């Protein structure tokens, strides 16, 4: 695992204050509320959180695949290789999707078109981004190559999705995403729908592919174990906000200060090397995204919540790369308000 | 416990009503439908039935006037009275037949979905029934039983049984497979209780929507039976038979042909709008 | 695939037996015996009994049914008419093409208009190209076919004099009946296609296609259309059967000598064999169309195709 980067690296992805809402005629769902993070070329960031935290919405926003009428990006910007995805035209987007940025979808049972052969579905993105001018034979050759890469015999490319098991279908979904060797891969809970044994295989495969091709990876998951295995940076998401961002080292080091929600997440998984009488689940539920609480979004469930947490939105406190969005951090040594730090940087 | 369930059901109905109200075309359909219901079921109470049958040959094909709002027909009978009474007849036949068809077809569907042994037998019989075009089946039944109001209702109800049976069976099967039914069974709940407590409330939406849609289909079937002279018999007014009579005088009195047809088209459109609205209200997922 | 076709054909046989038995049973309830109908009011009881015996009407119900079916299966003989004493089979064969032409033209019209417009409205949802056709379809779907037929007759035959108002001698005679029967069906088909298409566009695999950078046109035509068409194909089969029945009003209105008018006349004249023959033939025709549609369906949907082609699945 690479250590916290000190030398400036080129950024693959930069998300600035992204805000996404789902607008129906009855209500507004505040799915993503001003998140910012960045990802270096070749880096991996894990987006962690409970179901409904806004992880998939973030992923879809990155690809501009939100439902057209209801899903609205209200604020912020997404820079891919330094160019804004939000300002791209439809044509530019089509060029980006598949070739520069690709996505592995969550549910392999519904993500594949039932009436097209898997070969057709894999070759499609190669065909669509055929700037090298490959011949049909070369495209088929590439399909075979990709299928081999994900461990499916190329002879099966003439079969339809229903002829594959769940794990095999997820491999197909991965093959589709990897077909054009994208620069940035978004994996949205790629293993949730799979058996535990298959999960490990699929994860291993994604890691191998990333290492071999130097792909940058956004790994979306609710499983901290997966994050520990694959990611060098972690962003913890809660109710559409990033409550804690940092390197894997920062996050997994229990000596560090953490956001109470992150602590809660760690409290609800068993440890092998410690004697714990009982796992501690986080009490309560995620707030209703149509009616978010006034103060800190986590305050209704937070054991450490104080008066101020109920009233004021917390600031982000920074130490190095480690960022925490919590009121209690104002008294912790070494952590500075993000804004103060930025001003200082601007002055200097 | 009981109170809690009742409370939940009420809030469900309220929620559905709230979503239904948001749908403009469905509300328009509902309002228009209510107006037509009042016109055809309340107003006739104020008009003596004699206006429907009283002939006046001297006054036939009279244009609309204060006395005869829609003019008179080929026997000099008041067209407006006939339209209103006729509408009552067409709609009643539709409602009654839909209810009958729902009761018989729905029970069969529920039996089939709930008892594996009955399923095969019932569904094969339904396959046979369904392979006959509905209007033809209704015709055959009417011809065997004789054309009168009761038999027409029975005939068109039977012709729609396969549709109701299949819909209810599919809806119930979707629920019976759920784990909470398994849980209730494991807990020793009786089949009857499972059916009334868990299954029925959960497939009520589908059934209501399908029934609404089918009322209009059944009304159309009733009207076409009357139109070909195999349904409600004259002189009883019914929109289909009125159209059949008006056909002879198309050249001289086209108004007689327009009005009952507009009546049928309006009611079916309204019912379709209400049905669409209910479908979206019951299952907001489907709304786009 | 052959296995599937064979299975479907075999499945049709018990259905046809069931339907013939059902129709036979229902029509046996018709009051009156054939001899009294044939001989009229003045006949003596002996003459009636004698003729009923000759016709085999004094045999038990099941035996009569058996003989009836046997004659159809072995000799393609549907008996003879009580009224004209002529063989039913000849009349059926003369009328079949008219009914079939009417139903076929109408369903063709419905598909040609309903499906493309339905796709268009779904793709252009929330624009005027969606709302305008949707409203028109809403109205047309609610029109009784026989009334629309009357309106067309009034406008194009009586007022404008473009089309003939009765008869079935040339193809021009079929235009108005086809429109009257086909337009409401086209509207129904459009509504169905629209919702099927909208449902398909919402599926996850459509998002997958977009994520590959597929342009909108490709997403619609390559990914959505085939999936959306699968349920539409079944509807075409079911509606064809319904159309056959709805054709009654249209045949009466335009005096088309089809199978429906044969049934109606048969009922009026208590000519049970005519009613039975025509009903059976129409039902058989519907079953055949449904069978055909099921086979087409299996070709479109790889899930069914694979199940019967012997490969893994």
Predicted pLDDT at B207:
87
C90 close to B (CB below 8 A) = no
Which has the higher per-residue pLDDT, A8 or B177?
B177
B206 vs C297: CA distance, rounded Å: 26
**Which token pair is B36?**
């037509």
Burial class (CB in 10 A: 0-12, 13-18, 19+), A310: middle
Model pLDDT for residues B24-52, shown as the tens digit of each residue: 889 999 999 999 998 888 887 878 777 77
Return the SS3 of C229. Answer: helix
Is there a domain that residue A1 lies in? no
Q: Identify which of B183-192, C81-90, C192-201 has the greatest average pLDDT.
A: C192-201
B140 close to C (CB below 8 A) = yes
CATH of the domain at A333: 3.40.50.300
Angle among Cα A229, A18, A269 to the nearest 5 degrees reads 30
Does residue A222 have a pLDDT over 50?
A: yes
DSSP string spanning B50-74? Answer: HHHH---GGGTTPPP-SSSTT-B-T
C213 vs C201: CA distance, rounded Å: 16
Predicted pLDDT at A4:
45
**Dihedral of the alpha carbons of A258, A260, A265, A266, in degrees to the nearest 10:** 50
For residues C103-115, give the mean pLDDT. Answer: 93
Does residue B270 have a pLDDT over 60?
A: yes
- Chain A positions touching C207 (Cβ under 8 A) are 65, 105, 111
C157 vs C113: CA distance, rounded Å: 24
The reply to whether residue B250 touches residue C19, judged by beta carbons under 8 angstroms, is no
Q: How confident is residue C111, by pLDDT bands cut at 50, 70 and 90? A: very high
User: Average pLDDT of chain C?
Assistant: 86
Is there a domain that residue A92 lies in? yes
Mutate to test the interface with B, among A22, A23, A26 (most CBs of B within 10 A): A26
- Chain B positions touching A26 (Cβ under 8 A) are 19, 22
Q: Which of A:221-260 have CB within 8 Å of C?
A: none
Predicted pLDDT at A346:
61
* Right CATH for B28-43+78-282 from 1.10.3720.10, 1.10.150.170, 1.20.1530.20, 1.25.40.10: 1.10.3720.10
A264 vs B263: CA distance, rounded Å: 66
Interface partners of chain B (CB pairs < 8 Å, 3 or more) are: A, C
DSSP state of B157: H
A68 close to C (CB below 8 A) = no
Interface partners of chain C (CB pairs < 8 Å, 3 or more) are: A, B
Model pLDDT for residues C226-244, shown as the tens digit of each residue: 899 888 988 888 888 788 8
- Chain B positions touching A69 (Cβ under 8 A) are 288
Which residue in this structure is represented by tokens 């109710």? A239
C301 close to A (CB below 8 A) = yes
B139 close to C (CB below 8 A) = yes
Shortest CA distance from C222: residue in chain A: A116
Does residue C109 have a pLDDT over 70?
A: yes
Predicted pLDDT at A270:
67
Does residue B104 have a pLDDT over 90?
A: yes
Model pLDDT for residues C58-100, shown as the tens digit of each residue: 788 888 888 888 988 888 888 888 778 889 999 999 999 999 8
**Which token pair is C177?**
């009946």
Does residue A136 have a pLDDT over 80?
A: yes
A42 vs A36: CA distance, rounded Å: 19
Query: Does residue A159 have a cis bond before it (omega within 30 degrees)?
Result: no
Structurally, chain A folds into a number of domains equal to: 1
pTM of structure: 0.84
Is there a domain that residue A25 lies in? yes
Model pLDDT for residues A81-95, shown as the tens digit of each residue: 888 999 999 899 999
For residues A306-312, give the mean pLDDT. Answer: 86
Is there a domain that residue A303 lies in? yes
Shortest CA distance from A70: residue in chain B: B288
Model pLDDT for residues A180-219, shown as the tens digit of each residue: 889 999 999 888 877 788 788 888 888 888 888 889 999 9
C302 close to A (CB below 8 A) = yes
For residues A109-129, give the mean pLDDT. Answer: 92
* Range scoring the smallest mean pLDDT among B24-33, B106-115, B259-268: B106-115
Q: How confident is residue A18, by pLDDT bands cut at 50, 70 and 90? A: very high
CATH class of the domain comprising C96-308: mainly alpha
C29 close to B (CB below 8 A) = yes
Predicted pLDDT at B2:
35
Does residue A271 have a pLDDT over 70?
A: no
For residues B204-212, give the mean pLDDT. Answer: 86
Shortest CA distance from A24: residue in chain B: B288
Predicted pLDDT at A253:
84
C137 close to B (CB below 8 A) = no
The reply to whether residue A96 touches residue C302, judged by beta carbons under 8 angstroms, is no
Alpha helices in B57-148 (DSSP H): 79-114, 116-130, 134-145
Does residue C155 have a pLDDT over 80?
A: yes
Return the SS3 of C88. Answer: helix
| Cβ neighbour number for residue B9 with a 10 Å cutoff | 12
Model pLDDT for residues C266-285, shown as the tens digit of each residue: 888 878 888 889 988 888 88
- Chain A positions touching C307 (Cβ under 8 A) are none
Is the distance from CB of A149 to CB of A215 less than 8 angstroms? no
Q: Identify which of A65-69, A272-276, C129-133 has the greatest average pLDDT.
A: C129-133
Q: How confident is residue A5, by pLDDT bands cut at 50, 70 and 90? A: very low
**CA distances in angstroms from A316 to A255, A327, A342, C5, C18, listed in the order given:** 20, 8, 12, 68, 76
| Cβ neighbour number for residue B117 with a 10 Å cutoff | 9
- Chain A positions touching C230 (Cβ under 8 A) are 115
B125 close to C (CB below 8 A) = yes
- Chain C positions touching B144 (Cβ under 8 A) are 26-30
**CA distances in angstroms from B60 to B77, B258, C49, listed in the order given:** 7, 17, 49
The reply to whether residue C18 touches residue B128, judged by beta carbons under 8 angstroms, is yes
The secondary structure of A139-203, three-state, reads HHHHHHHHHHHCCCCHHHHHCCHHHCCHHHHHHHHHHHHHCCCCCEEEEECCCCCCCHHHHHHHH
B79 vs C259: CA distance, rounded Å: 34
Pick from C14, C19, C145: CB nearest B132: C19
CA distance A348 to chain B (A): 53
C19 vs C17: CA distance, rounded Å: 5
B260, HSE (Cβ side, Cα atoms, 13 Å): 37
- Chain A positions touching C306 (Cβ under 8 A) are 160, 162-163
CA distance A14 to chain B (A): 32
Pick from A99, A107, A115: CB nearest C227: A115
Nearest-Å Rg of the Cα atoms of chain B is 22
CB pairs < 8 Å spanning A and C: 85
Does residue A275 have a pLDDT over 90?
A: no
- Chain C positions touching B220 (Cβ under 8 A) are 144
Among residues B86, B228, B123, which one has the least CA distance to residue C250?
B228
Does residue B76 have a pLDDT over 80?
A: no
Q: What is the residue extent of each domain of chain C?
A: 31-77, 96-308
Burial class (CB in 10 A: 0-12, 13-18, 19+), B120: exposed
- Chain C positions touching B223 (Cβ under 8 A) are 144, 146
For residues A240-268, give the mean pLDDT. Answer: 87
Q: Which of B:29-68 have CB within 8 Å of A?
A: none
Pick from C213, C230, C306: CB nearest A95: C213
Predicted pLDDT at B10:
41
CA distance B163 to chain A (A): 28
Where in the sequence is the domain holding A258, given as residue range(s)?
8-347
CA distance B22 to chain A (A): 9
Q: How confident is residue C307, by pLDDT bands cut at 50, 70 and 90? A: low
Among residues A76, A84, A87, A85, which one has the least CA distance to residue A19?
A76
Q: Where are the beta strands (DSSP E) in chain C?
A: none
On whether ipTM exceeds 0.95, the answer is: no
Per cent of chain B over pLDDT 70 is 94
């Amino acid at each position: 695992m690479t250590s916290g980067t000190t030398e400036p690296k080129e950024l693959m992805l930069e998300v600035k204050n992204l805000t996404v809402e789902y607008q129906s005629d009855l209500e507004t769902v505040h799915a993503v509320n001003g998140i910012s993070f960045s990802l270096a070329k070749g880096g991996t960031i894990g987006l962690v959180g409970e179901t409904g935290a806004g992880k998939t919405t973030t992923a879809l926003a990155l690809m501009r695949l939100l439902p057209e009428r209801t899903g609205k990006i209200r604020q912020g910007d997404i820079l891919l290789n330094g160019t804004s995805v939000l300002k791209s035209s439809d044509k530019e987007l089509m060029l980006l999707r598949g070739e520069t940025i690709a996505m592995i979808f969550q549910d392999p049972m519904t993500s594949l078109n039932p009436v097209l052969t898997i070969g057709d579905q894999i070759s499609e993105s190669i065909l669509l981004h055929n700037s090298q001018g490959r011949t049909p034979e070369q495209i088929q050759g590439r399909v075979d190559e990709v299928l081999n890469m994900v461990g499916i015999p190329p002879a099966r490319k003439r079969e339809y999705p229903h002829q594959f098991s769940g794990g095999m279908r997820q491999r197909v979904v991965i093959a589709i995403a990897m077909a054009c060797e994208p620069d940035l891969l978004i994996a949205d809970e790629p293993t949730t729908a799979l058996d535990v044994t298959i999960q490990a295989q699929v994860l291993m495969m994604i890691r191998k592919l990333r290492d071999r091709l130097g792909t940058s990876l956004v790994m979306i998951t609710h499983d901290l174990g997966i994050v520990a295995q694959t990611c060098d940076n972690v962003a913890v998401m809660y109710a559409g906000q990033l409550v804690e961002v940092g390197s894997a080292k920062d996050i997994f080091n229990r000596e560090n200060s953490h956001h109470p929600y992150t602590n809660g997440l760690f409290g609800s998984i068993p440890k092998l090397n410690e004697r714990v009488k009982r796992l501690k689940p986080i009490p309560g539920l995620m707030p209703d995204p149509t009616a978010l609480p006034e103060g800190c979004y986590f305050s209704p469930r937070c054991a450490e919540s104080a008066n101020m947490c109920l009233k004021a939105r917390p600031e982000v406190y920074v130490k190095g790369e480690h960022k925490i969005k919590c009121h209690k951090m104002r008294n912790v040594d070494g952590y500075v308000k993000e804004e103060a730090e930025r001003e200082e940087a601007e002055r200097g | 416990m009981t109170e809690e369930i009742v409370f939940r059901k009420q809030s469900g109905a309220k929620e559905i009503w709230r979503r239904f109200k948001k749908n403009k075309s469905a509300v328009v359909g509902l309002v228009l439908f209510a107006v037509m219901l009042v016109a055809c079921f309340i107003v006739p109470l104020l008009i003596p039935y004699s206006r429907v049958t009283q002939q006046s040959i001297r006054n036939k094909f009279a244009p609309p006037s204060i006395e005869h709002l829609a003019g008179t027909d080929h026997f000099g009978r008041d067209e407006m009275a006939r339209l209103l009474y006729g509408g009552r007849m067409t709609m009643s036949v539709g409602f009654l037949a839909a209810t009958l068809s729902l009761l018989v077809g729905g029970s069969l569907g529920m039996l089939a979905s709930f008892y594996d042994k009955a399923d095969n037998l019932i569904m094969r019989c339904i396959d046979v029934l369904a392979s006959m075009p509905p209007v033809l089946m209704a015709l055959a039944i009417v011809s065997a039983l004789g054309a009168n109001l009761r038999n027409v209702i029975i005939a068109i109800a039977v012709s729609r049984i396969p549709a109701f049976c299949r819909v209810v069976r599919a809806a119930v099967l979707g629920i019976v497979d759920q784990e909470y039914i398994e849980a209730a069974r494991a807990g020793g709940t009786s089949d009857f209780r499972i059916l009334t407590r868990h299954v029925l409330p959960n497939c009520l939406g589908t059934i209501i929507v399908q029934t609404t849609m089918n009322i209009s289909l059944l009304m159309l079937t009733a009207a076409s039976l009357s139109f070909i002279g195999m349904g409600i018999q004259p002189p009883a007014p019914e929109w289909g038979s009125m159209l059949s009579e008006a056909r002879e005088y198309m050249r001289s009195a086209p108004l007689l042909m327009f009005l009952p047809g507009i009546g049928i088209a309006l009611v079916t459109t309204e019912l379709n709008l209400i049905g669409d609205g209910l479908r979206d209200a019951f299952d907001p997922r489907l709304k786009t | 695939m052959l296995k599937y076709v064979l299975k479907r054909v075999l499945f049709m046989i018990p259905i046809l037996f069931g339907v013939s038995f059902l129709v036979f049973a229902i029509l046996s309830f018709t009051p009156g015996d054939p001899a009294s109908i044939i001989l009229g009011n003045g006949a003596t009881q002996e003459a009636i009994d004698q003729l009923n015996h000759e016709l085999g009407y004094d045999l038990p119900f099941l035996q009569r049914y058996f003989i009836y079916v046997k004659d159809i299966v072995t000799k393609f003989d549907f008996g003879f008419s009580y009224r004209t004493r002529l063989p039913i089979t000849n009349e059926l064969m003369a009328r079949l093409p008219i009914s079939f032409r009417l139903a076929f033209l109408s369903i063709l019209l419905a598909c040609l208009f309903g499906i493309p417009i339905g796709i268009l409205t779904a793709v252009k949802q929330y624009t005027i190209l969606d709302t305008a056709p949707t409203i028109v379809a809403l109205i047309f779907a609610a029109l009784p076919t026989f009334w629309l037929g009357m309106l067309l007759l009034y406008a194009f035959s009586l007022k404008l004099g473009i089309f003939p108002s009765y008869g079935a001698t040339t193809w021009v005679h079929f235009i108005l009946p086809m429109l009257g029967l086909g337009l409401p069906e086209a509207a129904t088909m459009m509504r169905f296609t629209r919702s099927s298409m909208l449902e398909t566009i919402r599926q996850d695999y459509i998002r997958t296609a977009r994520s590959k950078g597929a342009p909108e046109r490709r997403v619609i035509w390559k990914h959505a259309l085939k999936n959306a068409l699968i349920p539409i194909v079944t509807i075409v089969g079911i509606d064809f059967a319904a159309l056959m029945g709805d054709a009654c009003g249209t045949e009466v209105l335009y005096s088309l000598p089809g199978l429906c008018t044969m049934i109606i006349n048969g009922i009026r004249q208590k000519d049970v064999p005519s009613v039975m023959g025509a009903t059976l033939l129409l039902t058989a025709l519907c079953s055949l169309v449904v069978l055909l549609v099921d086979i087409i369906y299996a070709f479109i949907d790889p899930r069914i195709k694979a199940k019967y082609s012997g490969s893994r699945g």
